[in-house]
Amino acid sequence: HYFIQSNLSMAAALLNFGGPSRRTVADLTTGAHDFNTRPNESIYFVNCSDSTLNVTSRTAKVSIENCRNVEVNLAYSPLTSYLEVVNSDGVNVHLAGTVSINTITVDQSDNIAFHVTNQQEQLQNIWWHKVSKVYVNRGGDLGPFLLDKLEENNKVTMFQHVCRPQPDGSFSKEPVMRENGYPITEQEKVEADARQAEFTRRLAENLLADVKITRKEE
């Protein structure tokens, strides 16, 4: 359902505001900076470090890439309800109390934290892959929550997984499987590849045998 919601939000944004555009903010290294964006304008932070980035108006979506030790403050919900963090380290994203985001993706990053006041209302799905630590800081008595890497048979998952907030204050953790259900772990991938290789070898042998028999009959 989250994909449908996100696509509907995107369609509404394009219909109402005349098409998407992207504003790139690059190479900021110090200080605090405010950004007043338009609703149909996505903001893309890249190669920023040791800075505070304040998005003070509504934006289409937020992208953070190759950033180090930055604070990102969102005053309004992104119009597409989407935020992504890629190849970054030490990023803190602060959501104002009225901000909610349906889909967050974190990829190839470390020490990423999302700061909220009500996780149940502000967060829906956090998708992540190749990430060492993702925190949700709920404030108050709940405090920070570490979204641990999923493990199955003591093997760290190699593919993306999704976490969703639960009414009791915890997060569900589910692997995102391929259509055929595997592989989920590195070991399962090795085993699946070996089975496929053996199947291909036997198939080739059988085809070759059939060809030889056909030639003899001729």
Give yes or no for a contact between 70 and 90, defined as CB atoms under 8 angstroms apart: yes
17-21, 94-98, 174-178, 179-183: least confidently modelled range:
179-183
Residue 13 tokens read as 């944004």
Q: What are phi and psi of 12, to 5 degrees?
A: -60, -40
The pTM of the full predicted model, rounded to 2 decimals, is 0.71
**Digit-coded pLDDT (tens) for 27-48:** 999 999 999 988 889 999 999 9
Name the DSSP class of 185: B
* Statement: residue 183 has pLDDT above 60: no
Strand ranges (E), the chain:
21-26, 32-35, 41-46, 49-55, 62-65, 68-74, 82-86, 89-95, 101-107, 110-115, 123-129, 134-137, 144-146, 151-152, 155-156, 161-165, 171-175
Percent of the chain with pLDDT over 70: 73
- The two tokens of residue 52 are 């505070």
Q: What is the per-residue pLDDT across 130-147, written as a single tens digit (0 to 9) for each?
A: 887 888 988 766 777 887
Taking only the tens place, the pLDDT of each residue in 66-116 is: 999 999 999 999 988 999 999 999 999 999 989 999 999 998 898 999 999
Closest listed residue to residue 152, CA positions, set 177, 110, 199, 185: 185
- Cα separation of 65 and 199, whole Å? 41
